[in-house]
Amino acid sequence: MKKIVTTILGIAVVIGAGVGLWIALDANPAAATVGNTKITVSQLNKGVNEIIAERKTVSTTGMQLAFGSALQAQELNFYIISTLLEKAAAENGVVITPAQVTTRAASIMQQEGSAAKLKTGEVSAGIAATEFPGYVKEILTVEGLTNVVKQKGVTEANSGTAVQGIVRDLAKRIGVKINPKYGTWDSNGVSVTPPTGTK
């Protein structure tokens, strides 16, 4: 489970001086924007709170878990990568159906062996249970984009780099902006860097 998520996030602009006014005037401020898609603070907080609550339902002994600003950055990164992958899929003719998500989710459940083991895997990987289908969709989308680049002549060995390039180039083209409270956007690494000097 953790390996799958790490792979996704691996494919896985600070906002200007006017951010303070923008946040003050917006009743539902953005934690980040991806092109014209807004990821709200309330959406981010909901995901983080779910992750924290679910940690209390399993033994976390031995798990390397993110906390504080690192957890917020991790969760925000999920929303950003999910949005970028969805847009990349649309541009490249990749369609993921709900039926495909359901089938793959069932397959992952079977691999884990039980609902309890899946829950432990989700907690270890920092996945809110309600967002599990979103992670499954990301897996399928990456696979779809991998097929696209391979059809263009990219080798299996280079397909991951090629897909990451698609996502990176898309992010640079449409723009990813992060509310400074939650960190900065690493355009080369295609990931959120937590704010410095915070825990």
Question: Which pLDDT tens digit goes with each residue over 89-142?
Answer: 999 999 999 999 999 999 999 999 999 999 999 999 999 999 999 999 999 999
Instruction: Tell me the average pLDDT across 60-82.
Output: 95
Looking at residue 14, its pLDDT comes to 30
Confidence of residue 2 (pLDDT cuts 50, 70, 90): low
Instruction: Tell me the average pLDDT across 26-42.
Output: 90
CA distance 87 to 102: 21
Q: Which residues pair with 40 in a beta bridge?
A: 30
Q: Where is average pLDDT lowest: 17-26, 54-63, 89-98, 122-131? A: 17-26
pTM score, whole prediction = 0.84
Instruction: Tell me the average pLDDT across 54-79.
Output: 95
State the CB neighbour count (10 A cutoff) for residue 128: 21
CA distance 2 to 133: 15
Q: Give the per-residue SS3 of the chain.
A: CHHHHHHHHHCCCECCCCHHHHHHHCCCCEEEEECCEEEEHHHHHHHHHHHHHHHCCCCCCCCCCCCHHHHHHHHHHHHHHHHHHHHHHHHCCCCCCHHHHHHHHHHHHHHHCCHHHHHHHHHHHCCCHHHHHHHHHHHHHHHHHHHHHHHCCCCHHHHHHHHHHHHHHHHHHHCEEECHHHCEEECCCCEEECCCCCC
Percent of the chain with pLDDT over 70: 85
Confidence of residue 181 (pLDDT cuts 50, 70, 90): very high
* pLDDT at 55 > cutoff 50: yes
Instruction: Tell me the average pLDDT across 156-182.
Output: 95
* pLDDT at 23 > cutoff 70: no
* pLDDT at 198 > cutoff 70: no
Query: In whole numbers, what is the pLDDT of the chain averaged over residues?
Result: 88
Looking at residue 196, its pLDDT comes to 81
* pLDDT at 51 > cutoff 90: yes
